[in-house]
Amino acid sequence: MAEQPSKIDFYFDFASPYAWLISDRLEHLAARYQREVVWRPVLLFAIFKAVGLPAPMETDAKRRYMLHDMERSARYYGVPYRHPANFPAISPVPGRLFYGIGEREPAQAKTFARQALKAHFVDGKDITRPEVVTEIAGQAGIPAGSVEAALTGERGKSLLRESIEDATRRGVIGSPFVIVDDEPFFGADRLDHIEWWLKSRTRAEA
Amino acid sequence: MAEQPSKIDFYFDFASPYAWLISDRLEHLAARYQREVVWRPVLLFAIFKAVGLPAPMETDAKRRYMLHDMERSARYYGVPYRHPANFPAISPVPGRLFYGIGEREPAQAKTFARQALKAHFVDGKDITRPEVVTEIAGQAGIPAGSVEAALTGERGKSLLRESIEDATRRGVIGSPFVIVDDEPFFGADRLDHIEWWLKSRTRAEA
């Protein structure tokens, strides 16, 4: 009996352009290798603080380069992208909703996360606002009562905090950060490396 | 009359594994698009200081990831790589030699630079030592008298300093940092983006 291939952990921040740039492509890649992607939103500023890294956007020279690279990378990958007005946003609201919903309805939570990234990085929505996030969740088919409970309850909040601690323990240093079979890959530009890894594992198991 | 296509500026630090990982591939890519690569060694620590960035290797979590990624990236790109014992090295010696030679003999200086990266990242040579660098320069066909003059004279030193200032002005934030037609690309993982850029320019000019 073949063992179930392990899932792919996708750590990301809802405010991270590079997370949006890899998200759909990562899902498509994983599907081709019969792997499931587990979305794990975190708050980067909390991880940076925990591991002692400065936020990249804090340094002028790096900020200038990254803003340019984000837009050019979107064109290169063929992913729609419009730089959001509030950037970088602090994203506890969609994170809490995601985990508040995700325990019972992982598929709905993933749909919400995907649509929240799109809303923020294509449609210019301010995903720090509960009413905006509520609307996106509604469009993702999540009942209004569940949204309300997830946003105001303690469960989403504490699961988000646990996920940040878990990410910090596992060496996450930015977004997107993908872990496949304990192998860490940082950045939207690591998709080819991830595919190379998946391919080598598939051959090894064949 | 067709205008001469502009040269490709390759800013790098002799102590940077990612510079070694891109250097040959960048030369091959440039050759396919009839572009010349101008090698411009710098000292990253001086740039980091000038722009206010911490060295990435200073943070444990980032250091761990990068050490792993350097070796894995070498396998992915099919480039020979052995992590040097003295890492990260501080590299003014090869930089001074490069610029001291390069004004009169740019081709020799480039050959030296290529061999110095290889000596450091494949053969484990300590390129911070003048006698090691002198030996590499000799193997690159540079006369002993020129090597001695470049290492001890003021010219190489001041050209290295100018190159660092120039790099800082142009937005260099790490190594390798490639500038094509004023378009900046940071990282060994940007070769595909550079090719995409070169291709679009070739079409535009055709």
Pairs of residues, one from chain A and one from chain B, whose beta carbons lie less than 8 Å apart: 65
What would the DSSP string read from start to end of B19-54? Answer: HHHHHHHHHHHHHHTT--EEEEE--HHHHHHHHTPP
Q: Chain B: give the shortest CA distance to residue A76, in Å.
A: 7
pLDDT in tens, B2-12: 567 899 999 99
Residue A84: predicted pLDDT: 95
- Which of A167-176, B80-89, B155-164 is predicted least confidently? B80-89
- Check if A65 contacts B (Cβ < 8 Å): yes
Residue A206: predicted pLDDT: 53
HEC profile of chain A: CCCCCCCEEEEECCCCHHHHHHHHHHHHHHHHCCCCEEEEECCHHHHHHHHCCCCHHHCHHHHHHHHHHHHHHHHHHCCCCCCCCCCCCCCHHHHHHHHHHHCCCHHHHHHHHHHHHHHHHCCCCCCCCHHHHHHHHHHCCCCHHHHHHHHHCHHHHHHHHHHHHHHHHCCCCCCCEEEECCEEEECHHHHHHHHHHHHHHHHHHC
* Confidence check: pLDDT of B52 > 70: yes
- Higher pLDDT among residues B42 and A206, named by residue: B42
Q: Among residues B178, B134, B170, which one has the least CA distance to residue B30?
A: B178
Residue B204: predicted pLDDT: 63
Mean pLDDT, rounded, of chain B: 94
Contact (Cβ atoms closer than 8 angstroms) between residue A121 and residue A81? yes
Q: CA–CA separation, A75 vs A167, rounded Å?
A: 30
CB-closest option in B54, B62, B171 to A65:
B171
CB-closest option in B59, B173, B187 to A61:
B173
- Check if B193 contacts A (Cβ < 8 Å): yes
Residue B91: predicted pLDDT: 82
Residue A65: predicted pLDDT: 97
Handedness of CA B110, B112, B117, B118 (dihedral sign): positive
ipTM: 0.92
Residue B5: predicted pLDDT: 83
Chain B residue with minimum CA distance to A50: B61
- Check if B65 contacts A (Cβ < 8 Å): yes
Q: Chain B: give the shortest CA distance to residue A93, in Å.
A: 27
User: Helices B130-139 and B92-102 sit at what angle, rounded to 10 degrees?
Assistant: 40
* Chain A interface disruption, residue of B193, B194, B195, most A CBs within 10 A: B193
Residue A73: predicted pLDDT: 97
Residues of A in contact with B25 (CB under 8 A): none
Q: CA–CA separation, A25 vs A188, rounded Å?
A: 10
Q: Chain B: give the shortest CA distance to residue A172, in Å.
A: 8
Q: Compute the average pLDDT of residues B136-157.
A: 95
Ordered mean pLDDT values, 10 residues apiece, chain A (206 residues): 82 97 98 97 96 88 96 97 91 95 94 97 96 96 94 96 98 97 96 96 68
Q: pTM for this structure?
A: 0.94
- Higher pLDDT among residues B185 and A54, named by residue: B185
Q: Compute the average pLDDT of residues B98-114.
A: 95
* Chain B interface disruption, residue of A48, A49, A53, most B CBs within 10 A: A53
Answer yes or no: do A173 and B69 touch at CB < 8 A.
no
